[in-house]
Amino acid sequence: MTKRHVTRRGVIQTGAIAGAGLALPTYLRAQESGFTNAPQGDTVTLGFNVPQTGPYADEGADELRAFELAVEHLNGEDDGGMLQTFSEKNLDGTGILGRRVEYVTGDTQTKSDAARASARSMIEKDGAIMVSGGSSSGVAVAVQALCQEAGIIFMAGLTHSNDTTGKDKRANGFRHFFNSYMSGAALAPILAAQYGEDRKAYHLTADYNWGYTTEEAIRSSTEAMGWETVAAVKTPLTQTDFSSYIAPVLQSGADVLVLNHYGGNMVNSLTNAVQFGLRQQEANGKQFEIVVPLYSELMARGAGENITGILGSQNWDWKLENELGAKYAGTNAFVQSFGEKYGFPPSQAAHTCYVQTLLYADAVTRAGSFNPCAVVEALEGFEFDGLGNGPTLYRADDHQCFKDVVVVRGKENPENEFDLVEIVEVTPVDQVTYEPDHPQFSGGSLGTCNAGA
Amino acid sequence: MGLLEVKDVNKRFGGLQALGDVNLSVAENTVHAIIGPNGAGKSTLLNCLVGKLIPDTGSVMFAGQSVLGRKPFEINQMGISRVFQTPEIFGDLTVFENMMIPLFAKRDGAFRMHAFEAVTDEADLIDEAERMLAEVNMLEKRDFHAGSLSRGDKRRLEMAMCLIQRPKLLLLDEPTAGMARADTNNTIDLLKEIKSKRDITMCIIEHDMHVVFSLADRITVLAQGTPLVEDTPENIKGHPKVKEAYLGEAA
Amino acid sequence: MTDQTQSAPAQRPAATSPDTRRRGATLGLAPRDLGLFLFVAGLTLCAPFLLNPFPADSSLAQFNAGYPDLMQRFVIFGIFAIGFNILFGLTGYLSFGHAAFLGVGSYAGVWMFKLIGMDVLPAIAASVITAGLFSVVIGYVSLRRSGIYFSILTLAFAQMCFALAYSVLTPITGGETGLQLSLSDPRILGAAASASGNIPVPSLFGVEMRETTDLRLGAWSFSLNVGYYFCAAVMLVAFYLAIRLFRSPFGMMLRAVKSNQQRLYYTGLNARPYTLGAFVISGMYAGLAGGLMVSMDPLAGAERMQWTASGEVVLMTILGGAGTLIGPVLGAGVIKYFENIFSKLNDSVLHGWFAFLPDGLENFVVAIVHPFVGKGWHLTLGLMFMAVVIFLPGGLVEGGQRLSRLFRRKSGPETRSTNDTPAE
Amino acid sequence: MDAIILQILNGLDKGSAYALIALGLTLIFGTLGVVNFAHGALFMIGAFCAVTLSRLIESSRTVIDESRTDFLGNPMEVQVPYVVDWFGESGGAFLIDWAVPLSILFAIPIMITIGWIMERGLIKHFYKRPHADQILVTFGLAIVLQEIIKYFYGANPIPTPAPSAFQGSFDFGVLLGFDPLTILYPYWRLVYFAFAALIIGGVFAFLQFTTFGMVVRAGMADRETVGLLGINIDRRFTIMFGIAAAVAGLAGVMYTPINPPNYHMGMDFLVLSFVVVVVGGMGSLPGAVLAGFLLGILESFASMREVIDLIPGINQVIIYLVAILILLTRPRGLMGRKGVMEE
């Protein structure tokens, strides 16, 4: 084989023990295969990089449960979950391309440095061929860039910032989760329908990238509906008490408060807003309302009954198929096997991670190769169904999935801590689709796929 | 003209007049003692000499230069060393290193970035340090942690650290405070020995008359912030004002 | 805050610098220091082998740390901790904001990659210089106070750096996602994109930092990585300079600052420039570490400036042994090992290890171990901090000393030294 | 004007949390000279006392309700709290509703015990050790406590609402002659402020007017002398440690309705509380309280839209900026004593 690329990894086998060396399994990367971490022997290793410490540890734990479930299903254990409903029937429970799936886990700590360290150890030490997971956009973007460099596939977990498939998109990275723009586009018409078109909004925005893109998306969509934005105030990431940001809201003339917050910030700002009695007030002759663009069921649990009646958007909800019918097939199959195994329904973070794992496995199978470039080709422009979101497209231009977006509202009297939201409506995919060169996503390029080695 | 000339120094702390019109002249190569009852202003005066306090009015001249407004390290560089009431040494360093630091200060000034030279290369300084340690009978303890020395040894080390800089003036702040009689006598002998071996001016602030009369060439008696008398030890001994000041305090 | 002087009840000989006169110095180091330096050099050289003691496919391979990323981290954080120790170990000034220098160093490095080209030397130079400039300013202001007041000043500066970098300075720092390279960067002295259309990777005179050779010996496999050896070489230089500094008059002055500032002033020395010097040197070490970090992995995240990161280097230094030469490096290694190895042990790995046990017992053992690994790795780390500081007051170095004393005692009482082992 | 009054209220409220934590911290840190990185963890444990008590009160027996099904289609399990069995519907509901205030009684003995164990079992041995060692051991302890809580309660925040009587807002503006609905302030936050004032006043009164307090104050000023007088200052310091832990714990209990507690809330407050204590001045209890309120109020003002528009990012750094300015103009913070933790 002629070496076209600069050698990044060579293999020296000392002659005397070359025979023994050849018998070596997964750990080694084979130069000959032409791509990083080509599976050796009869197994293939996937890397699941989730927050296991820090504020998102529970979300990470839920993602990890989904990954474990996906691996079991791929290996033909358990009931197979969404494999039965998936529109592609290539996966038959014999692993991926006949290789048994193994996995390694790591802790992102929700810090881009730690996440990259953990991902690098999966790549360099454990020979992972694909890395997935994550619970924040900072981490997703950082790890995606790393996977691009190393020449392996990154299947993003929960990451909602436009940047992941916008200015920071990478050829080796794929996102199934929806994004800020889609939240805005999905929410705006429903907000207008529920609260009227003559509304004045006050934004509190987390002062970092994800907050910026979310605020921009919600503002532009709602303003297009006729809403007016009274003010937008940025709040520090490390803020725990939002009282001083909430208190002036009523006096500002606004009648809707939009909380562009996630996780702990969202729990606290929402709790504080309800504490200040905003929901009981009237402003401009209308009932005052609060909107949380990105709902996380897990974190919503922390806000308790404060979420009652609050509108927001989700990538998926475990009640979809029950309430809206067979279009969202796959949902029940997944909920069933997840619920059987763990005793409670899965979160949207779990769902997206599970689906990403299956999509990767399927792409490899269709491509007939673990080569990242072949996988990229298989995933680009791929249309599928039966994974819980209805018909979905993996767009080639930016590696973003396009599917319906669920608009939810905090339930009045939740029966248990897993049933906190009710589905209000599903915004069809057409309404949330945008051009690849949309200004909110401009400034980056995919580059070319990198197979490493 | 003395080596140290204090003129009309006043210092107030709030309503308290700590020093009032202090005039003092320390002649070169003498031992000058400043005595006085508690609260007489001895320590305040000393602190004015070394730059820790700045007098409200008056002047302090050392070898023809004013020390006022200078920081302690600058005053030291002018040639004044100070021995503290409780020995101030570098407790975490070895005895040997304690000796090297004043040597470097003497040679290199208040600051020099000698980060990549080796202490062990300074053969001349090492010899000098060891000679000095030998003089104060501490050579065998050169590699001890200074913090672990006995109080007497600490006192001797501190003196050695001051002397190795060859100061023109050595200020001693109650060098025998809290010492047993034997230790006090040892210290007196040490100081006498030091004095006999070199030209040095000493200014001792002392409570203990025994020490003062054993060592001093001249004595200034301070009371309530003002000098009462300045004279030779013989004359001070029977001076009525002195008796009054001390007895007055006692009564 | 300085370490309080502990006066021993009895007189005892010094624990430091037994050689006060140079005898047969090589490389400007006394024999004892030279020995230490060669020992460390040997360890770093052989690290890829020493850190991979288990065969690649054995169940204990999880404990292998000999992969490029972690080895690089060991030496980079070693540099960071060595530098921190120059300030804290010698002068006793406890900075709680040193991560800021690592952070600005990283940003400077990435900006060099973006603007100039992918060679690591300009990037590292820019990192060191930028961190140095920051530390001059922050040090000049903070050193006006001492003790806890100094610590809080440095903490405040670093937290400001972090908060601003994460938010309003996003155009310069990349904010939440970190500062990263892109295909549209100018890179005036290099190519904007590699031949294959990807973002080029950091290199030294054309040799890519990530180039790795896998060496297979029987069941074992060892990764020899260019980046690691580059970092290791830099660390050895940094370590060598630190030894020289410790043994220099300057280092002695710094220890004098810690021991008794009053005496220092009355000995004719100005402590302020000495402490500032130490602060800037240690800031530049931090910048160097930051520059190396982005040279190995060209992304700079704001979190590396957070107080937790500053706290981490404090912990590394104390854990290893503050004021000792090798301690901080050891501390850095231990903490990074925990972070990267223990966090990756999950239940399926545990079941793999204990598979030989009967089922019930296996589950029981896994359940016992489970809280301490994987997502519980923090717990193990916390327990280790407590254990070390309770049982080994001088940090890991003291542990090593106790072991070696024990060993010496066993091997022959006549070699027992009355001296405490020097603080290395 | 109303906006300013609102922010002063906010500042007093934030300030009471800061002051309470700083008060406990300064009792330990500024007086015993122990750098206690575990103090934030004590605050967190206090909050989880409230969580635990609510859970205990809500502990239930499970009844299968055949008429409903759960998400997997199995018969629904319904939880019936024991207190409902014991005290009837309304009595049980009342207990559940008032869980947080009730936790105060529950938390005091627990926190004092924890503080006592910490001091006797661990901190005592570190009084004479270098600060570096104190940092390492208390940081280790903080991590361990945090991880234990995480192991049992998870990483997510846990909602612990205030009693329904204290939900909603009080129209503060009307008292001051503003139009109705201009200055609304949540009842519970007002309760928190009053509670903080009470605790702070209590601690000061205790130190000021009891012999115990006098000895402790003397011990703060000069530990050795008091020791020489034959007074067992160590035992009193142990009790002080218990009190400091209780103050931190109570601050945590009462904080739970304001923000749902999670296992790392202590770490979130840790750095801030150190800043508050140092800005107040080492060894000064009034300084710590004053600095707490000062920083709380300044933080509130800095978060106003008008201020942020004027100086972008000011809300991110205000606390640190103020800390730097104060420490540079006043060498020992607002009311610090000379020589405490200056070396």
Tens-digit pLDDT profile for residues D164-217 = 888 888 887 788 878 777 788 888 999 999 999 999 999 999 888 888 888 777
The rounded radius of gyration (Å) of the Cα atoms in chain A is 22
Whether pLDDT at A404 is above 60 = yes
**A335 reaches D (C-beta below 8 A):** yes
CA A425, CA C97: separation in Å to the nearest integer?
49
Q: Do B92 and C259 touch (CB under 8 A)?
A: yes
Question: What is the per-residue pLDDT for D73?
Answer: 76
Can you read off the two tokens belonging to residue B42?
Answer: 């001895």
Is residue A308 within 8 Å of A410, Cβ to Cβ? yes
Specify the pairing of strand A392-394 against strand A282-283.
unpaired
Out of C180, C199, C301, the one facing A113 most closely (by C-beta) is C301
CB atoms within 10 A of CB B247: 10
Q: How far apart are CA C354 and CA C342, in angstroms?
A: 17
Q: What is the per-residue pLDDT across A15-68, written as a single tens digit (0 to 9) for each?
A: 433 333 343 333 344 445 678 888 888 899 999 999 998 888 889 999 999 999
Closest CA to B58 of B228, B217, B227, B236: B227
Give tens-digit pLDDT for B78-106.
999 999 888 899 999 999 999 999 999 99
Domain assignment present for residue C119? The answer is: yes
List the domain boundaries for chain B.
Answer: 91-166
Contact at CB, A138 and C208, closer than 8 angstroms = no
SS3 C194: coil
Chains A, D: CB contacts within 8 A come to 132
Q: Which pLDDT score, from 0 to 100, does residue C217 have?
A: 82
Q: How many domains does chain A have?
A: 2
- Cβ-contact D37, D135 below 8 angstroms: yes
Residue A307 inside a domain? The answer is yes
- What CATH number should be reported for the domain holding residue A237? 3.40.50.2300
Higher pLDDT, A384 or D174: A384
Query: Which residues in chain C have Cβ-Cβ distances shorter than 8 Å to D131?
Result: 1-4, 94
Give the CA-trace dihedral at A61, A62, A65, A66, to 10 degrees.
-140
For residues C88 and C29, give the distance between their C-alpha atoms in angstroms, rounded to a whole number: 23
Q: Which residues does chain C have within 8 Å of residue D339's beta carbon, measured at their own beta carbons?
A: none
Instruction: Point out the residue among B77, B101, B123 whose CB comes nearest to the CB of C253.
Output: B101
Please write the tens of the pLDDT for every residue from B3-31. Answer: 899 999 998 888 888 888 888 899 988 99
Instruction: Say if residues A193 and A420 touch (Cβ distance below 8 Å).
Output: no
What's residue A302's pLDDT? Answer: 85
DSSP for residue C26: B
Pick from A45-54, A278-287, C141-150, C343-352: least confident = C343-352
Note whether C348 contacts A125, CB cutoff 8 Å: no
| pTM, entire model | 0.91
Query: Which residues sit opposite D93 in a β-bridge?
Result: none
Question: How far is it, in rounded angstroms, from Cα A382 to Cα C166?
Answer: 36
- Nearest chain A residue (CA) to D13: A243
CATH number at residue C54: 1.10.3470
Enumerate the residues of chain C whose CB falls inside 8 A of the CB of residue D334.
none
Over 90: is that where the pLDDT of B234 sits?
no
Give the nearest partner residue to D260 out of A250, A271, A277, using CB atoms.
A271
The side-by-side arrangement of strands in the sheet containing A405-410 is A228-235, A200-206, A256-260, A289-294, A311-314, A405-410, A421-427
C-alpha to C-alpha distance for B97 and B106, rounded to whole angstroms: 14
Give which of A7, A14, A24, A449 to mutate to test C binding, by max C Cβ within 10 Å. Answer: A24
Residue type (1 letter), D274: F
Question: Which chains border D (3 or more CB–CB pairs < 8 Å)?
Answer: A, C
Q: How far is C270 from chain A (nearest CA, A)?
A: 40
Tell me B110's DSSP state: S
What's the mean pLDDT when you consider all of chain A? Answer: 87
Nearest CA in chain B to C8: B148
23-62 in D: which are within 8 Å (CB) of A?
none
Running DSSP on this structure, what letter comes out for residue D168? S
* Co-location of A158 and A54 in the same domain: yes
Q: Do chains C and B touch (3 or more CB pairs under 8 A)?
A: yes
pLDDT of residue A280: 85
Q: With an 8 Å Cβ cutoff, are D161 and A304 in contact?
A: yes
Does A444 sit within 8 Å of C299, measured CB to CB? no
Mean of all residue pLDDT scores within chain D: 86
Write the pLDDT tens digit of every residue in C376-422.
888 998 998 899 888 888 889 988 888 888 887 766 544 333 333 33
Minimal CA separation from D91 to chain C, in Å: 39
SS3 A283: strand
D332 contact residues in C (CB cutoff 8 A): 149
Closest residue to B116, CB basis, from C16, C245, C270: C245
Residue C46 sits in which domain range? 31-315
pLDDT of residue C244: 92
Mutating which of D29, D117, D147 best tests the C interface, going by the most C Cβ atoms within 10 A? D147
How would residue C243 be classed by pLDDT, with cut points 50, 70 and 90? very high
A207 in the same domain as A164: no
Residues 6 or more apart in contact with residue C401 via CB below 8 angstroms? C394, C420, C421
- Asked, for residue C368, whether it belongs to a domain, the answer is no
Average pLDDT over every residue of D94-103 = 86
Task: Kindly list the residues from chain D whose CB atom is less than 8 angstroms away from the CB atom of residue C1.
Answer: 35, 131-132, 341, 343
Place of tokens 């040494």: B89
Largest Cα–Cα distance in chain A? 87
CB atoms A12 and C67 under 8 Å? no
Contact pairs from chain C to chain D, CB under 8 Å? 147
Residues A209 and A307 in one domain: yes
Q: Is C424 contained in some domain?
A: no
Q: Name residue A45's beta-bridge partners.
A: A102
pLDDT of residue C410: 65
Judge whether D156 and D55 are in contact, CB under 8 Å.
Answer: no
Say yes or no: D279 contacts chain C, CB-CB below 8 A: yes
Q: Could you list the residue range(s) of the whole structural domain that residue A236 is in?
A: 181-314+405-432
- Beta carbons of A136 and A163 less than 8 angstroms apart: no
Number of domains in chain C: 1
Helical H runs in B38-138?
Answer: 42-50, 72-78, 95-108, 123-135
CB atoms C318 and D135 under 8 Å? yes
What span, in angstroms and rounded, lies between the C-alpha atoms of D172 and D181? 8
> pLDDT tens for residues C31-84?
888 999 999 999 999 999 998 888 887 778 888 888 899 999 999 999 999 999
Pair A197, A155 in one domain: no
**To which H or E segment does residue A338 belong?**
helix A331-342
Would the CB atoms of C68 and A124 count as touching at under 8 Å? Answer: yes
Tokens describing residue B102: 């004043």
Report the percent of chain B where pLDDT is more than 70: 97
> Contact C13/B144, CB-based, under 8 Å?
yes
Task: Report how many Cβ contacts below 8 Å link chain A to chain C.
Answer: 188
Per-state percent for chain D, helix, strand, coil, to nearest 5: 70, 5, 25
- How far A156 CA sits from the closest chain D CA (Å)? 22
Cβ–Cβ below 8 Å for D303 and A281: no
Provide the shortest C-alpha distance from residue A408 to chain D (in Å): 18
Whether residue C179 has pLDDT greater than 80: yes
Supply the pLDDT for residue D114: 93
Residue C144 at interface with chain D, using a CB cutoff of 8 Å: yes
Inter-chain touch C244–B104, beta carbons under 8 Å: no
